[in-house]
Amino acid sequence: LEPEKGRVPSPGQGGVVLCLYVLIVCSNVLLIAVICVNRTLHEPMYMFLCSLFVNELFGSLGLFPFLLVQILSDVHIISAPLCFLQIYCVYTYAHIEFCNLAIMSYDRYLAICRPLQYHTLMTPSRIARLVALTWLFPLLESFLITLLLTVRLTLCGNVLNSTFCRNYLVVNLACSDTSVNNIYGLFGTVITVLVPLLPILYSYTKILRVVLSGSKQTRQKAFNTCVPHLASLLNFSFGCLFESLQSRFDMVSIPDGLQIVMSLYFVILQSLLNPIMYGMNLTKIRNACKQLFCNSLPSASSRNGSWSSAKD
């Protein structure tokens, strides 16, 4: 399989893509390490954030290595097995992202609307079950609906009008009957979007009621904890909308560069902005990062003989 000419970034853009990938990996790994090392962050909200950051690494791993190899080697061909693997990784990433955001909205609902029962309801065992469900269900659903149904098809073409492998475009290359793929594809889309959307709408409806009728302190708390989540949700929704439009509609009139940005938006921008939004907005994470760097810098300097002593 190979992408249509002009739909793959030029070799000159390889450095930009590589820098983006390194930045995504470093920022997400940093926050995962901060949450895991700092015991004060071993709370439900930060456990769900850790799951979200791990998923950003998973999604970028499914996209960037293939893209970088094509750019740097200037060989815009991918084998069928690797193409199906990329489809599985990217679609699973999207489903896990929606599930993560749904569970995080439920967690915020409990923290704001039922604070006295929060630690009773959000026990470590329940957190583990929610995180496991967030990952296992999308992994299984994407394997059954997306991968198995697509692998069985007989393809009559090998040119994909895309910068990476999309299930919809591969199905369009098939000579055999694709009605089952279309039915289950629609079913999978409903599961991926509608099922997580219902708890999100429910949670924020309840939160909005409490905020409107609560004190100024309650509104401030809700604002600080919900704004990054809503920004992440809207950003990812717009990215998925761009990806869907790119796959299903003819966009010949749109410049190739803009099409590339639209097709990669939902993976790149989400993985890049989430660590920034949560890391800068949540006070505990900011303080943990400052403490980590402040503790490491004096020790490094003292080893070099720059300081004679260091204060704790």
Domains in the chain: ranges and CATH: 12-288 (1.20.1070.10)
3-class secondary-structure state, position 155: strand
Which residues are registered as beta bridge partners of 174? Answer: 155
The pLDDT score that the predictor gives to residue 300 is 42
Model confidence pLDDT, tens digit, residues 95-135 = 999 999 999 999 999 988 888 899 899 999 999 999 999 99
Flag the least confident range among 39-48, 68-77, 97-106, 136-145.
Answer: 68-77
Six-digit token string for 59: 């999604």
Q: What is the mean pLDDT of residues 17-25?
A: 89
The pLDDT score that the predictor gives to residue 7 is 53
- Global pTM reads 0.84
Model confidence pLDDT, tens digit, residues 193-240 = 888 889 999 999 988 888 888 777 777 777 777 888 888 888 888 888
Q: Residue 301: is its pLDDT beyond 70?
A: no
> Is residue 163 within 8 Å of 264, Cβ to Cβ?
yes
Model confidence pLDDT, tens digit, residues 271-289 = 988 988 887 766 677 777 7
> Is residue 59 within 8 Å of 90, Cβ to Cβ?
yes
pLDDT more than 70, % of the chain: 83
Distance CA 171, CA 310 (A): 63
